[in-house]
Amino acid sequence: MQILEFILQVLLGLTSLLLTLFILMHKGRGGGLSDMFGGGMAQAVSSSGSAERVLNYLTISIALVWFLSIVGLGLITKFQVL
């Protein structure tokens, strides 16, 4: 059971970093963090609609894996025999 818990913790850490990165890569709706990291230049680069759809799909997929790893860790913690 400790191996599964370790795997879920590593997965949670990796997906947290990826989720943060993918959210910051989204096109801004005006102001905010996306403009702080060169939002004006990013608009010219990410003008493709298909690239934005792929980024949305990846963000949702990573968020789902992130959520499931949290639920898994919670279940392991709740039913762990001391």
Nearest-CA neighbor of 55 among 37, 42, 67, 72?
A: 42
Tell me what pLDDT residue 31 has: 55
More confident of the two residues 28 and 68: 68
How many CA atoms, within 13 angstroms, populate the side-chain half-sphere of residue 33? 7
pLDDT, average across residues 11-36:
81
Tell me what pLDDT residue 52 has: 86
Percent of all residues in the chain with a pLDDT value above 70, rounded to a whole number: 74
Mean pLDDT of the chain: 83
| pLDDT tops 90 at residue 73 | yes
